[in-house]
A and B are shown apart, each in its own frame.
Chain A
């Protein structure tokens, strides 16, 4: 099997301290793009964040992050990914709790 391109790359034009950079994420789509953008924008140290899926023939998304105070956008990205994971875990726990509580209507559906 051919070698896969790296999952995350920093695109040309990033500032040397990475306070403003565009990250190209391979094999991802709006699914991750929009959720990740939302979580990055929840960070008060982020000046700007946006994402795009440049073209349907390219299996990538590009996430642009610009920071205040010359902070690293890479650590903001990593923090946001960790926060999203915690968010998913919380939803999973809550869903499981409600499912095992079993207080819902059950009905039979013809298939």
Chain B
């Protein structure tokens, strides 16, 4: 079945430019049409379809929303969904070749498996068991007594020659032992190399992990990527000549164009057209001029989110919605406070 989209929903893609980029679904833009906000209409047009989920990533379609909304969720997933990371590093001893501040920076980037819901944001300078998790990191490299004489392999020659994220030891405080009983705080990946050591070198470090958001420091970002693209739309205007069918197919990503083995009839694979990269290769060939129209669907967002935190990938979008709603509530409360001021009272004026 060939899906066709209302031309108003399409962003045109020409050889050297894109057309109709902005949304125009505002009241007053189309004479005689009602484009004012209606929750019922929105609910009718909204589709959310989850496509693929793995332990680390999720792909889903969000259809029927404006770019400003989709972009808000993307931005929030990157910068404003809180996670737990190591924020303070107290170096008591570090005789490795890695300088203290470099090591501290590397330690800060380790993703931890702590559910941010279990912790509070540290708002003032007071550390409690609700807002701080303490780790220690101690390692000393020694020579192996029974090492083969002619070996040059560090793992055969030395004990503890690599400082790994797995060497973090959680030090429970207060109620933490109870709260985190089923899932003790630890790095999500125990094999991250933080520093390499040689006999006689050692580290002794105390670490404080706390809750933060990606806009403060990228280490707090819960995602590796959170991105969307618009659904590609390919319309074949008139039948492609059979002798050009294969050349036409090669202009698109694999699987996007189907050729009937008997008739050599060329069609777009509706399931696979999302795989197209919209390279516009087909527009470079004069023999295909007028045969095909490329576009993207303006309100059809293909999200791809990779989790790099304690959150399972399918929860990240929900967390973003929760953050968004909290922001809206805060602004609304502040705006309603302005409403209560008597009409003649001086409203709070910000400097221009």
A20–B313 alpha-carbon span in the complex (Å): 43
- The answer to whether A71 has its CB under 8 Å from any CB of chain B is no
Count chain B residues whose beta carbon lies closer than 8 angstroms to a beta carbon of A: 63
| B32-40, B151-159, B283-291 - the one binding chain A | B32-40
- The answer to whether B52 has its CB under 8 Å from any CB of chain A is yes
Q: How many A-B residue pairs have CB under 8 A?
A: 164
A109–B313 alpha-carbon span in the complex (Å): 12
Q: Are A104 and B321 in contact (CB under 8 A)?
A: no
Residues of B within 8 A of A34 (CB): 68, 71-72
> What's the least CB distance linking B90 to chain A, in Å?
23
- The answer to whether A53 has its CB under 8 Å from any CB of chain B is no
**Considering the complex, which residues of chain A in the window 82-103 have a beta carbon less than 8 Å from any beta carbon of chain B?**
82-92, 94-99, 103
Residues of B within 8 A of A29 (CB): 75
- The answer to whether A69 has its CB under 8 Å from any CB of chain B is no
Q: Are A9 and B68 in contact (CB under 8 A)?
A: no
Report if A88-B328 is in contact (Cβ < 8 Å); known contacts: A11-B350, A13-B352: yes
A24–B350 alpha-carbon span in the complex (Å): 7
Q: Are B335 and A74 in contact (CB under 8 A)?
A: yes
Which secondary structure dominates chain A's binding surface?
helix
- Range class of the A interface residue count: 35 or more
Residues of A within 8 A of B75 (CB): 29-31
> What's the least CB distance linking B35 to chain A, in Å?
7
Residues of A within 8 A of B338 (CB): 8, 10, 74
> What's the least CB distance linking A107 to chain B, in Å?
5
Residues of B within 8 A of A107 (CB): 52-54
Report if A77-B335 is in contact (Cβ < 8 Å); known contacts: A31-B80, A90-B39: yes
> What's the least CB distance linking B15 to chain A, in Å?
30
A9–B36 alpha-carbon span in the complex (Å): 27
- The answer to whether B69 has its CB under 8 Å from any CB of chain A is yes
Q: Are B76 and A31 in contact (CB under 8 A)?
A: yes
Q: Are A42 and B51 in contact (CB under 8 A)?
A: no
Q: Are A78 and B321 in contact (CB under 8 A)?
A: no
Instruction: Name which residue of chain B comes closest to A7, CB basis.
Output: B334
Residues of B within 8 A of A23 (CB): 335
Residue from the list A13, A39, A92, A108 in contact with B55, Cβ < 8 A: A108
**Considering the complex, which residues of chain A in the window 17-32 have a beta carbon less than 8 Å from any beta carbon of chain B?**
23-25, 28-32
| B42-50, B228-236, B247-255, B265-273 - the one binding chain A | B42-50
Report if A99-B50 is in contact (Cβ < 8 Å); known contacts: A75-B339, A92-B318: yes
Q: Are B348 and A31 in contact (CB under 8 A)?
A: no
Binding site for B on A (CB under 8 A): 1, 6-14, 23-25, 28-32, 34-35, 37-39, 41-44, 74-75, 77-78, 81-92, 94-99, 103-109, 111
Q: What are 10 contact pairs spanning A and B, CB under 8 A?
A: A1-B123, A35-B72, A38-B66, A39-B37, A41-B26, A78-B332, A78-B339, A88-B325, A90-B46, A108-B55
Binding site for A on B (CB under 8 A): 23, 26-28, 35-37, 39, 42-43, 46-57, 60, 62, 65-66, 68-69, 71-72, 75-76, 79-80, 123-124, 188-189, 314, 317-318, 321, 324-325, 327-339, 347-352
